[in-house]
Structure 1
Amino acid sequence: MKASSRERLTLLLLQNTTPILFVAIFLFFGVQSSQFLQPQNIENIIKQASFIGMAAVGMTFVLLTAGIDLSIGSIMYLAPLVAGQAIRHQGIGVFPALLLAMVVGMLFGAVNGFCIVKLRIAPFITTLATMVGGRGLGTAITKSRSLDFPQPVLNFGRSEVLGIPLPIVVFVVVVAVGHIVLTRTAFGRQVYAVGNDVEAAKKAGIKTDRVLAGVYVISGLCAALSGFILVSQIGRLDAPFGKGDEFDAIAAAVLGGASLFGGVGNAFGAVIGAVLVQMVQNGLVFTNVNLYLQPMIQATVIFLAVFFDSLRGMRLTKLRRRYIRIPTDRTAAQPPRVDSARHGIVSSSGD
Structure 2
Amino acid sequence: MAVSSNVLVRRRSPVAVWLAENGALVALVVLVVGLSLLSSDFLSVTNLLNVGVQAAVTAILAFGSTFVIVTGGIDLSVGSVAALSAIVLAWGATPAGWPWPVATVAGLAVGVACGLVNAVLIAYGKLPPFIATLAMLGVARGLALVISQGSPIELPAQVAHLGDTIGRYLPVPVIVMVVMGVVAAVILNRTYAGRAMYAIGGNEEAARLSGIKVDRQKLITYALSGGFAAVAGIVLASRLASAQPQAATGYELDAIAAVVIGGASLSGGKGRALGTFVGALILAVLRNGLNLLSVSAFWQQVVIGVVIALAVLVDTLRRRETS
Superposed pair shares fold, TM > 0.5? yes
Structure 1 ranges of 4+ moved more than 6 A = 3-6
TM-score by structure 1 length? 0.85
Match among 229, 232, 243 for residue 223 of structure 1: 229
How far, CA to CA, are the matches of 1:37 and 1:314 in structure 2? 39
2:194 aligns with 188
Name the SS for the 2:41 alignment partner. helix
Match among 301, 304, 312 for residue 306 of structure 1: 312
| Contact 1:17-1:308 at 8 Å conserved across structures | no
| Contact 2:237-2:244 at 8 Å conserved across structures | no
Greater fraction of residues in helix = 2
Name the SS for the 2:289 alignment partner. helix
CA drift at 1:245: 0.4
Q: Deviations over 1:252-302 (max 9, x none)?
A: 111111110100011112210111111100000001112221100011111
Match among 204, 207, 213 for residue 207 of structure 1: 213
Name the SS for the 1:293 alignment partner. helix
1:39 aligns with 45
2:298 is aligned with 1:296: no
Q: Deviations over 1:123-156 (max 9, x none)?
A: 0000001101111121122222222224333234
Match among 140, 144, 167 for residue 146 of structure 2: 140
Equivalent residues in 2 for 1:1-351 (5 A)?
Answer: 7-8=12-13, 11-158=17-164, 160=166, 164-317=170-323
How far, CA to CA, are the matches of 1:100 and 1:159 in structure 2? 25
Q: Which amino acid aligns with 1:215?
A: T
How far, CA to CA, are the matches of 1:156 and 1:237 in structure 2? 13
How far, CA to CA, are the matches of 1:56 and 1:186 in structure 2? 21
Q: What is the number of equivalent residue pairs in this alignment?
A: 316
How far, CA to CA, are the matches of 1:22 and 1:313 in structure 2? 22
Structure 1's 60 and 209: CA in aligned 2 closer, same or farther, altered over 3 A? Answer: same
Name the SS for the 1:34 alignment partner. coil
What is the Cα-based RMSD across aligned positions, in Å?
2.0
Name the SS for the 2:266 alignment partner. coil
Structure 1: tracts of 5 or more residues without a match? 318-351
Structure 1's 186 and 238: CA in aligned 2 closer, same or farther, altered over 3 A? Answer: closer
| Contact 2:49-2:171 at 8 Å conserved across structures | no
Q: Deviations over 1:56-81 (max 9, x none)?
A: 10000000000000000111110010
Q: Deviations over 1:221-255 (max 9, x none)?
A: 00000000110121123332111000010011111
Structure 2: tracts of 5 or more residues without a match? 1-7
CA drift at 1:11: 4.6
TM-score by structure 2 length? 0.92
